[in-house]
Structure 1
Amino acid sequence: LQSMQTLAESIETYALLRTIPGVGPLTAAMLVAEIGDIKRFPSVKQLTAFAGLDSAVHESGTFKSKKNRISKRGSSYLRTALYQATVAGISKQIHGPRNSILFQFYQQKRDEGKPAKVAIVAASHKLLRIIFGMWNSGSAFQAH
């Protein structure tokens, strides 16, 4: 565990990911290890599919399912790391949530009537899109 973290700290993307509120040292190391080279994913859609956060659409002929779940294909470790970081990011602290961007998105989903876990998964997807943008541009996290 310690050697994994030491190795991760030598990778510049690790420091970049640590600028995101809610992403701890272990989560950042897991994200770096699971995603590897971001250049493998030409678009955020492919990274989403790799994480298994894309929706599994159930349809046949004229039937279209009302309940679409996430596909869960791809890396369960990456999904877990994103989920943990999202829960940490939206958790309320004395001065408000750690990650205001994720919390506002989560709250918006809750206000739309989505269950808590569905809203957290949606916020995890948003976090993944933020990570994709940061990693490709090489810029640190900025709370607007």
Structure 2
Amino acid sequence: MIDQINTWRTQIKKTKSTIDKNFKNYEGSNILSSIPAVGTTIGGVLLSELSNDTLEFTDYRAFQSYAGTSPVTKQSGKTMRKVTMRYACNKNLRHALYWLAFNSITRVDWARQFYDKQRSKGKKNSIALRSLSNKWAKIIFSMWKHQTPYSPDFFETNQKKKNLLTGFA
């Protein structure tokens, strides 16, 4: 039994090494791997979805809708407004962005602050992570469109500009 387990471990290491090499050989992998919370698994899913030539997104909002990270508001007549998760989407991409958000709260300072702010507003864990994944979808779309690697300074500078323009501190 131990010999069999050791054989499986060797095979798993070889497979992981092959996957890592293949991921690094694809164009655009350097952009996605510049994000601290992206590894081979999440990066591979993002790379496969972003490099799909049949998808032409006009702006980041279209990408967020396709990815399923943007919320859907349901309201009719006199009924109360209800915000729900988007179900008509690419579920593989939504799942990858959700795990990116989960991983980023321990590796990216602004992501942790954003998550904590959502939780302090009374949002559930899953809703706060989905909201954070919506932010990541916007950032990734911009990175991919401009072919630039991730820079935490860029995000923080843009956030400060936004706060100055809107008057929020």
Distance 1:9 1:143 in 2: 22
Question: One-letter code of the match for 2:28?
Answer: T
Q: Counterpart of 1:94?
A: none
- Residues 107-127 of structure 1, C-alpha deviation per residue, up to 9 Å, x if partnerless? 121122212211111001111
1:90 pairs with 105, 113, 121, which one? Answer: 105
Which position in structure 1 is the counterpart of 2:115? 106
Match of 1:143 in 2: 152
Structure ranking higher in strand proportion: 1
Residue ranges of structure 2 left out of the alignment (5+ in a row): 1-14, 154-169
Amino acid across the alignment from 2:70: D
User: How far apart in 1 are the matches of 2:84 and 2:19?
Assistant: 33
Contact kept, 8 Å, 1:57 with 1:68, in 2: the verdict is yes
Instruction: Give the structure, 1 or 2, with the largest relative contact order (CA under 8 Å, sep 6 or more).
Output: 1
Q: Which has the larger radius of gyration?
A: 2
Distance 2:102 2:120 in 1: 17
The structural deviation recorded for 1:5 is: 4.9
- Quick one: distance in 1 between partners of 2:86 and 2:150? 28
What's the CA shift for 1:4?
Answer: 5.7
Return 39-48 or 122-131, whichever deviates more. 39-48
**1:101 alignment partner, SS class:** helix
Identical counterparts, % of pairs: 26
TM-score (norm 1): 0.84
Q: For structure 1, which segment, 18-27 or 52-61, has the greater mean C-alpha deviation from structure 2 after superposition?
A: 52-61
Q: 2:86 pairs with 71, 78, 97, which one?
A: 71
Match of 1:42 among 43, 50, 58: 58
2:72 pairs with one of 56, 68, 76 = 56
Structure 1 regions of 5+ residues with no counterpart?
A: 92-97
- 1:123 is aligned to 2:138: no
**RMSD value, Cα:** 2.0
TM-score normalised by L of structure 2: 0.72
2:48 is matched with 33
| Counterpart contact for 2:57–2:63, Cα < 8 Å | yes
In structure 2, distance between residues paired with 1:72 and 1:9: 32
Structure (1/2) with the larger helix percentage? 2
Distance 1:62 1:34 in 2: 40
Maintained 8 Å contact 1:51/1:75: yes
The answer to whether structure 1 residue 134 and structure 2 residue 149 are counterparts is no
How far, CA to CA, are the matches of 2:132 and 2:64 in structure 1? Answer: 13
